[in-house]
Each structure stands twice: as structure tokens, then as C-alpha cells.
Amino acid sequence: MADKQGFLVKEGGNIKTWKKRWCVLKANSLFYCKKQNGTELGIIHLANVKLVRQSSRKNKKHCFEVWTPERTYYMCAPSDVERDSWIETITTAKKALEARKTQATANGASPGSPQEEKITIKDFDLLNVVGKGSFGKVMQVRKKDTGKIYAMKVLNKKTIIERNELAHTQAEKNILQKLIHPFLVNLVYAFQTEDKLYFIMDYINGGELFFHLQKEEKFSDDRVRFYCAEIVCGLEYLHAKAVLYRDLKPENILLTEDGHICMTDFGISKEGLATENDKTVTFCGTPEYLAPEILQGKSYGKAVDWWSFGTLMFEMLTGLPPFYSQDVQEMYNKIMNDKLVFPPHVSADARSLLTGLLERVPEKRLQDAKIIKAHPYFKGLDWDAIVRKEVEPPFIPNVKGKSDTSQVDAEFLAETPKLSVDKDCNLSQTLQQNFAGFTFVNPSEHLQ
């Protein structure tokens, strides 16, 4: 999680204008971002910071300076109290980073290297199975030395190779380790054994959206609007970072203990789609949420995520996806051909938004996050407050403590949490090389 975040007014580099930026201090860097979607405009690495202090500029209130060899950054906080808090937090993080470097040098390892903190499966107690899929399983685990609770996703190397999923697995790890957003799951560690890959992530214990939707059949309009707003912000950020999600569905939306959403599982996400003209052709995703262009075998872009978003919104409002059928082929036919029909209780504004999102022609589909945010369905929402998690969630999961599993499907919890050794793995050295560089330790874990 971020050490500190909030709005600061920052002086520009070449053009000396002052602009309001949403700033996040996390790991070894101070990120300053656009307020609309969190797109990173620049990074100040704490390793390069020489001094942080109150500024003596007379014409600027609540101002502080961050000195680096390249330049001095000037930032203004909303108040003197906030200014002093930023100075103290940055200074403390800087000292922690320097202490870690000193300790690493004393141990003969460079900071951030695998030798500095070598994580293995032996560092964790297996507590519960909390999710399963064709890839393997997700377990709730506890790190032995700190007692922290995490989610551990386990992938079988042999299965990855046999199913030709190597590129997807590499993309998932790359995406998880580089993206920082309030509504995306956070990767803490990644490591491997001869037969398996392990992702250690934040444990989000409010339950899957799917779990809650099954229990309640459908959600109120206010609750749907809240979840949709947070999902829009998450998708906007992913698309701004050239990432196509491709698997938006209730099972991949988790609720935090305080009721906010967290998007997870980037196993089939695609990197590198930076412009509107960038396309891909792989047939993948979950049947109910597939856009027509995928079913037609056409090349596609980010518009498919907004079709999936519309499908999910419809399902939250009504209890079922708009073109659902137990027969998959019949459902595909409905997705491509059937008229969109709304139950009477769906509001006019919701119908209007859904009609735009579930437009079969991608070029005509609503797919600009700014236009979606401005739709009457979201009238009155403070989007900056949404990203800052300052809007009160309409539903708070009934959880007690970080290790609570009451919101997890009982079918998963009934399974004994254990790891089997794949004796038939026997991957050649050449195939094992495909997983080189998989190890990852999130630097922010050292600054907690």
C-alpha cells in the first residue's frame, strides 16, 4: 500500500507553471500523476533525493523542496500540517532506504537483489484454499517472520508450457509488478521452484463480487453505480498504460474489507496496446463476457474491455448477463445477433449507458473513459474522490480481521491447503530458461 498520497501543486520543469497533481509515495519513489486517471507524469527516485525541507519562497504557501542532483522540485501542500507530514514521510522513507542499503552492503548483497531477500515457499504457512481455476489454485498464506496475511497464486510450469501460456504468464508478472492503482491488486513477491511459479499478492478478504451477487441475485442501482465508477477508473488506468484486461467478470473483482473493489487476475491480459490502432487477435476470455468481434475472429482492441464492462454492469443490475444461455454456442449466437432487452426496473440512464457499451460495432461503442464518466448515469459523482477512496461504499463486507475467510465460497475452504510436487515435470534446462528472471521482491515491503 502507499505510504502517503494526496494532491500537491507542483512547479513544472521547463515551463514554470504550477499544476495540481495526485502524488503517491510508495516503495522507493515519489510518483506525481495526473489527477484524472493516475497516468504517471514522472518519478522522483528516493535514492536520488539529497534533501527535503520547507521552502523559503515567499510567494508560495505551504511549500516544500525536494532536492536531487538533476533539479530541485517545488511542491505546495493544502496546509502547513500537510506540508510537514509530506516532509516527514519522505524523509523517513529515505532513511529506511539508506538503512536497507547499508545492511545489504554489510551482508555482501546489492539492494534489491535476490540475495538481499530470497523468498521461498518455506517462508509461508498455508492457511486456506480461497480460489481455484484451470491455472491452479489461490491460497491464503501467512508469512512466518512477519505474520502478514497474503494470497498466493500457484501456477504449474508444465501446464503453462503444454497450453502455450508462457507469454500470458510473463505478461501477468510484468503487469502486476509495474502498475500502481487503488483498484488493482498489488504484487508483493514472485518466486519459483522446479515445477511451479508463485505470485504472492495482497489478500483481499471482502469476497468476490461473484460471491455477493450469487447471494443477493442483483444489486441496487446505487451499489452498481459505485462499483462501476471504481471499475471505470481501473480500466482507464490500465488502458492508459497500454494494457488490455480481457477478463473483466464478477469472479475477478474482489471487495476489500472496507467495501472498495480490487481488480485481480491478469493471466490473459495483453501489453503493448498503446494507440487506438493497436490490435490483437487471440481468442480468449470468459464466454459470457466476450465481445462480438472476438467471436467473429476479427482483430480487436480496448473496446472489448468496455463490452465486458457493459455485460458486468447489466449482470449486477439484473442478476444475469444480457445474452446468457447455458448452451455456449447459443449464447455466442445471442451475443452476435439478439436484441438487447431490459427488465422494467432498469433506469433510463442505465439503459442509455448499457446501449452505448453493448454496441456490436466496436467503432460505435462507448470506449472513451472521459465520455463514460460524463454520462448522466454517473451524474454528481466526484471522480477525484472516487480514486482517493473518499466516497463511502454502499456495502461493507462482514469481515473481522485480516485473516477472515467468511466471504470465501465454502467449496474452496473445504479443500485442504497443500502443495504437491509434480514428479513428472522434468522440464529441460532450455524450457526452464523461459522462466528466468521471474523472481521479484516489491521494494515497498521494506518500508512498512
- Cα distances (Å, whole numbers) of residue 103 to 107, 415, 440: 6, 41, 19
**Do the domain assignments include residue 402?**
no
Count of CB atoms within 10 A of residue 374's CB? 12
Q: Among 314, 317, 312, 281, which residue's Cα sits nearest to residue 299?
A: 281
Does residue 164 carry a pLDDT above 70?
A: yes
Spatial separation of the C-alpha atoms in residues 246 and 415, rounded to whole Å: 29
Range of the domain at 380: 209-387
Considering only CA atoms, which of 4, 10, 28, 16 is closest in space to residue 73?
10
Q: What number of helices (H) and strands (E) belong to the chain?
A: 13, 17
Q: Does residue 286 share a domain with residue 229?
A: yes
CB 239 within 8 A of CB 268: no
389 CB-near residues (< 8 Å, 6+ apart) = 182, 258, 260
| Same domain for 230 and 187 | no
Q: What are 37-90's pLDDT values in tens digits?
A: 566 677 788 878 888 999 888 788 999 999 887 788 899 999 999 999 999 999
Residue 325 is predicted with a pLDDT of 95
211: alpha, beta or left? (left if phi > 0; alpha if psi -120 to 50): alpha
CA distances from 8 to 18, 48, 302 (A): 10, 20, 31
End position of a domain, from candidates 106, 133, 163: 106
**Which cell is 342 given?**
431490459
Contact 174, 187 (CB under 8 A): no
CATH value at residue 291? 1.10.510.10
Arithmetic mean of pLDDT over the chain: 87
- Check: CB of residue 112 under 8 Å from CB of residue 27: no
End residue of a domain, out of 106, 136, 161: 106
| Cα–Cα dist 435/170, whole Å | 8
Domain count, the chain: 3
**pLDDT at residue number 117:** 54
What's the angle, vertex CA 66, arms to CA 53 and CA 82, rounded to 5?
A: 60
Q: Which three cell numbers stand for residue 254?
A: 474482489
**Domain annotation covers residue 156:** yes
Task: For 14-82, give the DSSP string.
Answer: SS--EEEEEEEEETTEEEEE-TTT--EEEEEEGGG--EEEE---TTSTTEEEEE-SS-EEEEE-SSHHH
Q: Is 78 part of a structural domain of the chain? A: yes
If asked whether residues 36 and 126 sit together in one domain, one would say no
Please indicate, yes or no, whether residues 45 and 145 belong to a single structural domain of this protein. Answer: no
Residue 422's CATH number: 3.30.200.20
Q: Are residues 251 and 333 in the same domain?
A: yes
Whether the pLDDT of residue 2 is over 90: the answer is no
Is 58 within a domain?
Answer: yes
Helices (H), 272-347: 292-295, 303-318, 328-337
Q: Give CA–CA dist 70/67, Å, rounded.
A: 8
Split at pLDDT 50, 70, 90, the class of 426 is confident
Residue 15 lies in a domain: yes
With H, G, I as helix, E, B as strand and everything else as coil, classify residue 151.
strand
Q: Are residues 218 and 360 in the same domain?
A: yes
Residue-level pLDDT at 54: 92
- CATH assignment of the domain containing 97: 2.30.29.30
Residue 66 domain-assigned (yes or no): yes
Same domain, 164 and 221: no
Residues 150 and 33 in one domain: no
Q: pLDDT tens-digit profile of 197-238? A: 999 999 999 999 999 999 999 999 999 999 999 999 999 999
379 with 420, same domain: the answer is no
218 and 346 part of one domain: yes
Q: 330 and 264 in one domain? A: yes
- Kindly tell me the burial class for residue 154, based on how many C-beta atoms sit within 10 Å of its own C-beta (0-12, 13-18, 19 or more): middle
Check residue 34 and give its pLDDT.
Answer: 67
Average pLDDT over residues 4-14: 83
| Residue 392 domain-assigned (yes or no) | no
What are 294-318's pLDDT values in tens digits?
Answer: 999 999 999 999 999 999 999 999 9
Q: Around 330, how many Cα atoms within 13 Å sit in the side-chain half-sphere?
A: 4
DSSP strand pairing (187-192 vs 196-202): antiparallel
- State if pTM tops 0.85: no
| Mean pLDDT score, 329-350 | 96
The sign of the torsion formed by the CA atoms of 378, 384, 386, 387 equals: positive
Tell me the CA distances in angstroms from 97 to 104, 250, 396, one per residue in order: 11, 39, 36
Active site positions, annotated = 247
Residue 375 lies in a domain: yes
pLDDT (tens digit, 9 = 90+) per residue, 124-145?
A: 999 999 988 766 789 999 998 8
Q: Read off the pLDDT band of 14 (50, 70, 90).
A: low
Per-residue model confidence (pLDDT) at position 44: 84
* pLDDT over 70, % of the chain: 90
Whether residues 166 and 283 share a domain: the answer is: no
Q: Which of 387, 419, 438 is the last residue of a domain?
A: 387
Residue 1 has pLDDT above 90, yes or no: no
Q: How far is CA 386 from CA 96, 103, 147, 211, 234, in A?
A: 31, 40, 31, 23, 11
pLDDT of residue 419 exceeding 60, the answer is yes
